[in-house]
Amino acid sequence: MQKTAAGLYGHDFLLTWEKSLENLETILFVAEELKKLRDRNISPRCFDSGLAISQFRDNSTRTRFSFASAANLLGLAVQDLDEGKSQIAHGETVRETSAMISFLSDIIGIRDDMFLGAGNTYMREVGAALDEAFADGVLPQRPGIINLQCDIDHPTQSMADLLHLKTVFGSLDQLKGKKIAMTWAYSPSYGKPLSVPQGIIGLMTRLGMHVDLAYPEGYGLIPEVVELAGKQAAESGGQFRVVNSMEEAFTGADIVYPKSWAPFHVMQQRTELLRKSDHDGLKGLEKECLANNARYKNWECTEENMKLTKNGTALYMHCLPADISGVSCKEGEVSASVFERYRVPLYKQAGFKPYIIAAMMLTNRFEDPSAVIRGMEEKGERRVR
């Protein structure tokens, strides 16, 4: 199958809704082909040298290792940008740092989801600095930026989720008309980013799916993203609605995605307090939010709620780690029995992320990804000799 990288080649991947459906299908295709090569022990290396820079401004397990795995898969070395061990801690500007790390770099992956209104903006600031350095002849090439999670979207997660759905249901066309319930769920912690639910409603509404966004009163997302989801659903022939009942969202659903997040207004307050380094204020906000969360402990993915889904057999999804009642916490997002029943599919869901990231890397650097993949196939170099 011939796939072009127009709109991907030389372009940063920051928000899924900035990319065409053809772009998204290309990413899925390349990810699938890379996985096939890896599964057949054929080397997918297309770089002889070069760096993939990872900048994680928040904690991560799956995405951090997925980024490193993706870079290694293609032949890039990984270098972490630790702000505490760099001159950033001494006031070095974004413009200068961006240039200094990029002389022989191909990809920069950034995770910045702590500050509402700042993460995606920071990525674009880095991009502008790279544009300037390349135009001035400082850099021999302009590295591509991949959003590894920001305050608005988590594109590597939602695209991995989409590839999981495509695999389970057979094709993207088979997703049309399918109902997915993206619901808030109780967690004994607060301050979880909005980017996963926003990423899901921002992507799945483009595919003709019926998307329910469910949360208790007061737990809304960024209004502009919710508005976008409604517009996209109308354009794709799907449906989008906001409900305030997990049970209502689960009823008749083909897919359920119960996941905790902090209310939009709380993330706004938290951002202000973080910027002021107001530790007492943060402690007070946390106490207040945990008390409010505790009012909704019934928002849990239980066996009873799963019975409300289509034929009682909906696909359960989660970005992980999940708050598992009686296992990782006393009361949480999902019952132990539901999680254990779907544990293997969940791990498979997570396993698509390295390939999605690798596909984003490859399409950013190569104009004809189909030709690159054919070359790997024809060369047939064994990965493990």
Residues 163-187 have pLDDT tens digits of 999 999 999 999 999 999 999 999 9
Cβ of 384: how many Cβ atoms within 10 Å?
5
CA atoms in the 13 A half-sphere facing the CB of 61: 6
Q: Is the peptide bond before 44 cis (omega within 30 degrees of 0)?
A: no
Residues with Cβ within 8 Å of residue 72, at least 6 apart in sequence: 78
Domains of the chain: 16-153+353-379 (3.40.50.1370), 155-349 (3.40.50.1370)
Q: CA distances (Å), 204 to each of 21, 212, 229, 295, in order?
A: 11, 10, 9, 30
One-letter amino acid of 273: L
Of 146, 180, 174, nearest in space to 161 by CA: 180
Tell me which residue has tokens 């980017």. Answer: 195
253-293 per-position pLDDT tens digit: 999 999 999 999 988 998 899 889 999 999 999 999 999 99
Region of 312 (left: φ > 0; alpha: ψ -120 to 50; beta: rest) is: left
Does the pLDDT value for residue 378 go beyond 70? yes
Does the pLDDT value for residue 211 go beyond 80? yes
Give the pLDDT of residue 233.
98
Q: Could you tell me the maximum CA-CA distance found in the chain, to the nearest angstrom?
A: 62
Alpha helix locations (H) across 240-352? 246-250, 264-276, 279-293, 303-306, 336-341, 343-351
pTM of the predicted model, to two decimals?
A: 0.96
